[in-house]
A = this chain, B = another copy of it.
Amino acid sequence: MPPKFSTVRYLLLYGLALGALLTLMTWSQYRLMVIDHATELYVLLIAVMFAGVGIWVGLRWSAPRVLERTVLVPLAPSTDALSPNEQVLDQLSISPRELDVLVQLARGLSNEEIAERLFVSTNTVKTHLANIYSKLDVKRRTQAVEKARALGLIQ
Contact = CB atoms under 8 A, between A and B. Distances in A.
Interface of A: 105-110, 138-147
A138 B143 CA distance: 19
Contacts of A147: 108
Contacts of A106: 142, 146
- Say whether chain A's binding surface is mostly helix, strand, loop, or mixed: helix
Contact of A141 (B109, B138, B139, B142): B142
A6 B92 CA distance: 39
Contacts of A105: 142
Nearest to A105: B142
A14 B142 CA distance: 32
A151 to B, nearest CB: 13
Contacts of A138: 108
A109 B142 CA distance: 7
B110 A140 contact: yes
A108 B106 CA distance: 12
Given A107-B142, A108-B146, A145-B145, 6 more contacts: A106-B142, A108-B140, A108-B147, A141-B142, A142-B142, A142-B145
Nearest to A107: B146
A107 to B, nearest CB: 6
Contacts of A108: 138, 140-147
